[in-house]
Structure 1
């Protein structure tokens, strides 16, 4: 069983020091990974970037996911990005690291590493490329959960990218077997999936929205918050959605949601990841460019996006 330790005690089963469980809630930034024009990770830029997000009031950090180009990084690069993020966060906000991989051995290695460096959890996409059935998906998550029974895990449902769908029944079965499986990030873009996850799982199970256009609606319906890509570049309006709802100011929350939806629309009209990094460059953060096969933005695209973001009053 998962040990929910209240302080720096020692788990008698594992011999490791336990830490208080920090479930993700609020607005969690899906962080980018700074990469230079030669395709190398700019590790030295990570502390300033994380400090920027913390200063803007972000509630959590999610490195090495889709926005962080995790599947384009080597195992060692993913580990170092995770280490630097945890170190810079220094316990101020929870850090949950994406450790999913098509290679089960890499997924386990990265998840164990996340636990060992003091992260607050790991999130994993299901297997991708091959079409697999429910039994295979269950075996994948079971193999990982068995290795880290003392460490919070989140399932990451993103069928548009990985092809394989996480159903509510899969999550129900896994949560029943492993009490350290605490939540799910739903990036299916179908709001009915969010509703179905909420209906099928216990009230304290963490259901996080992965579609930045649906944060307002999901939080109103009892969601824990969101893991948001737009929050990597413009955390302020995304945080405003959540904090205004909690303060009871739904008009301010809806206004912030409209701005975030417009930002999302702008970003999605440009090459993947590149738009987030370019927006950060406009804000003085050296995020660099995406790693191949993703491409950076042309000068014309950069100029156009500058105008679009300026028209929203963001630059």
Structure 2
């Protein structure tokens, strides 16, 4: 279980129809497009994929559709976190049965976890549902409210979770991220989860990142990675700045509904989001399109625009 992930992993979206019902038909063409864009993995039914707003049956259908669409070409990580550890373990078992490559889970968050030992107990229960699959704990304190020390979690988890692979680290503490990466001579795979800070994470040692905006601008982020590898930090900073501007433009609106609108601009009609996330007005969608156009998004987001093709 030591094979570490690399590159950009798209936190995938869940297509819904106009009535808010699950529609898996767009998953295959979206998967093809993501692979064409240069994405090297798929993270399914996480925050981006509205996993917490889907029923268990719907989550299983979405996971199955992405595993089938990927067809072994890129790894698929299925998020199975749930407030019910029983349900989370069953989702983990299902992920293993359908041929997913990895599982991941947030912690229960309705009843707050206040110590690392309890967090490890919870994640051990979930990970045991698919003992043959590597497990990543999904650390996203902004949504779960759990701000526990991830270095301590990895130390204790290593003793009690046999299939613990590492973390999906969706926080902004680069110092903690670095400590997790370096723990036990790099034993753990720690995946960066803040798109706006990819360059900082690369400088800290990140080898892979999971993000929402990799769905719509993978060539931009691959450009950042290329420039960093070449030692061209001026170019890497310029491209990261474009990412920040793009995310600020999208962030003027309900974020994931806006992201689904941007996917619509790219030819994928996948509806909006379920409550409590709200829909965009048609006027907001058009304003968003104009805002992105002013940034040159529709030029530099295309697969042909890699590093040297992205002009100042």
- TM-score, with length taken from structure 1: 0.88
After TM superposition, the structure 1 stretch with the greater mean CA deviation from structure 2, 179-188 or 53-62, is 179-188
How far the C-alpha of 1:191 sits from its partner, in A, is 2.6
Q: For 2:114, which of 124, 128, 133 is the aligned residue?
A: 133
Deviations along 1:227-263, one digit per CA (max 9) or x if unpaired, are 0111112222122222433354444433322211222
2:32 aligned partner: 51
Equivalent residues in 2 for 1:1-315 (5 A)?
4=1, 22-134=3-115, 135-167=117-149, 168-315=151-298
Contact 2:20 2:271 in 1 (8 A): no
Give the C-alpha shift of residue 159 in structure 1. 0.8
| Partner SS for 1:218 | helix
Tell me the secondary structure at the aligned position of residue 9 of structure 2.
strand
Q: Tell me the alpha carbon deviations over residues 107-155 of structure 1, each in whole angstroms, 9 at most, x when there is no partner.
A: 1011111111111101110111222222321110111233333210001
Which residue is 1:9 aligned to? none
Give the deviation of 1:94 after TM superposition: 1.1
Asked whether the equivalents of residues 101 and 107 of structure 1 are also in contact (C-alpha less than 8 Å), the reply is yes
Query: Partners in 1 of 2:264 and 2:3 — Cα distance?
Result: 31
> Could you tell me how far apart the structure 2 residues matched to 1:192 and 1:241 are?
21
Greater CA deviation, 181-190 or 44-53?
A: 181-190
**C-alpha separation between the residues in 1 aligned to 2:159 and 2:225?**
29
How many equivalent residue pairs? Answer: 296
Using a 3 Å threshold, how does the CA distance of structure 1 residues 38 and 182 change in structure 2: closer, same or farther? same
Residue 26 of structure 2 aligns to a residue whose secondary structure is: helix
Counterpart-to-counterpart distance in 1, 2:40 and 2:233: 19
Shift of 1:198: 2.5
Show structure 1 runs of 5+ residues with no match: 5-20
Q: Structure 1 residue 40: deviation in Å?
A: 0.4
CA RMSD of aligned residues (A): 1.7
Range moving further from structure 2, 78-87 or 176-185: 176-185
State the distance in 2 between where 1:265 and 1:175 align.
38
Deviation at 1:22, TM superposition (A): 4.8
Secondary structure at the counterpart of residue 185 of structure 1:
strand
Shift of 1:302: 1.1
Task: Output one character per residue of 1:69-117: Cα deviation in whole Å (capped at 9) or x when no partner.
Answer: 0000111111111111111111111111111111101110111111111
Change (3 A) 1:208 1:69: same
What is the SS of the residue equivalent to 2:167?
A: strand
Distance 2:99 2:173 in 1: 33
How far, CA to CA, are the matches of 1:201 and 1:269 in structure 2? 41
What stretches of structure 1 move > 4 A for 4+ residues in a row? none
Query: Any conservation in 2 of the 1:127–1:164 contact (CA below 8 Å)?
Result: no
| Cα-to-partner distance string for 1:170-217 (whole Å, 9 max, x where unaligned) | 122112333421111111233333133234454141111111111111
CA contact (8 A) 1:277 1:287 kept: yes
